[in-house]
Chain A
Amino acid sequence: MSPHSRAWWLGLAGLLLTLAALPAYALTMDQPFLRSTGLVAWTLVAAGLTLALVAVIRTRRRAAKWILGVHVALVIFAFYAFFGFARLPRPSMLAADSVAPAFTLPSSSGEQVSLARLLQDGPVLLAFYRGEW
């Protein structure tokens, strides 16, 4: 294989690995740990970036450098999306040890449920989540 085609081959294979991170993340989102850390996706990105870097070092071709450039831009964007854009607002915290605000809300089983009623059976763990959409 000529250095030129090898540069292309390695660089593109690397890019493909990095792009595979997106479906990989979607598929592993069911696991809270993988969802929180993106471990599978970031491992793919690291492998892809390594391949692109190897292509540049081994072939010193301009094509490989271009692919690496595109690659780095993609990874920077992904980093921003994962750690920057996804940042949540700081909650306006109730003071520690404060009394939880009382509430009565309609429930999935069709009744009105109050915090006071729930507390009759012991401590209550409320899981706030973003909804079905």
Chain B
Amino acid sequence: MSELRGLAAINDDLKDMNVTLAGVSTDTPEAARRVVERHKLPFQILSDPKCQTIAAFGLVHKNAGPGGTDIAIPAQILIGRDGKILGRRVARLIQDRPSANETLENVRLFLAEAQRTRRVG
């Protein structure tokens, strides 16, 4: 959950870059609302209890959740305005989390990269 608070801290920086932040997890909307309230998160958390969207992004960690349910592999994915995936950062170990600064750097990098390829292409 620590990464959510880190993300809350850089929400304004992301907004300055026109980037909208949203969390995704298998929590119910009710549980997600509690998390948002408890940590005063300035962004929404989307609820995907059946792992459908998580699976569509290829990020299912099978049987790893409470009671052997499927949950998400911790990951951050930046999607461009045209709907294309601009970049991603996927955890390799359960404890692996990007710091808020790393996230910010990644987003800058992905956006710059997208702009460059667009100009060349």
Residue in B closest to A95 when the chains form the complex, CB atoms? B85
CA distance A21 to B47 in the complex (A): 35
Of the candidates B32, B62, B85, which one forms a contact with A107 in the assembled complex, judged by CB atoms under 8 Å apart?
B32
Q: Which residues of A contact B62 (CB under 8 A)?
A: 89
Q: Which residues of B contact A121 (CB under 8 A)?
A: 18, 20
A127 to chain B, nearest CB (A): 5
Most buried by A among B20, B80, B111: B20
* A23 close to chain B: CB less than 8 A: no
Q: Which residues of A contact B66 (CB under 8 A)?
A: 133
Of the candidates B22, B97, B99, which one forms a contact with A118 in the assembled complex, judged by CB atoms under 8 Å apart?
B22
Question: Residues of A within 8 Å of B, CB-based: how many?
Answer: 50
Of the candidates A35, A88, A131, which one forms a contact with B65 in the assembled complex, judged by CB atoms under 8 Å apart?
A131
Of the candidates A97, A107, A118, which one forms a contact with B29 in the assembled complex, judged by CB atoms under 8 Å apart?
A107
Q: Which residues of A contact B72 (CB under 8 A)?
A: 128-131
Contact status A105-B58, CB under 8 Å: no
Contact status B56-A87, CB under 8 Å: no
Considering only residues 17-66 of chain B, those with a C-beta below 8 Å from chain A are 17-27, 29, 31-36, 44-48, 52-54, 56-59, 61-62, 64-66
Of the candidates A83, A109, A131, which one forms a contact with B93 in the assembled complex, judged by CB atoms under 8 Å apart?
A83
* A70 close to chain B: CB less than 8 A: no
Contact status B56-A101, CB under 8 Å: yes
Q: Which residues of A contact B21 (CB under 8 A)?
A: 124-125, 127
B94 to chain A, nearest CB (A): 4
Contact status B46-A122, CB under 8 Å: no
CA distance A91 to B99 in the complex (A): 21
Contact status A123-B18, CB under 8 Å: yes
A115 to chain B, nearest CB (A): 7
Of the candidates A92, A98, A108, A119, which one forms a contact with B35 in the assembled complex, judged by CB atoms under 8 Å apart?
A108
Q: Which residues of A contact B58 (CB under 8 A)?
A: 91-94
CA distance A42 to B31 in the complex (A): 34
* Proximity string of chain A (22-44) to chain B, C-beta cutoff 8 Å, 1 when within and 0 when not: 00000001111101101000000
Q: Report the 7 A-B pairs with minimum CB-CB distance, sorted nearest first.
A: A122-B18, A101-B56, A108-B32, A92-B58, A105-B46, A128-B72, A86-B94
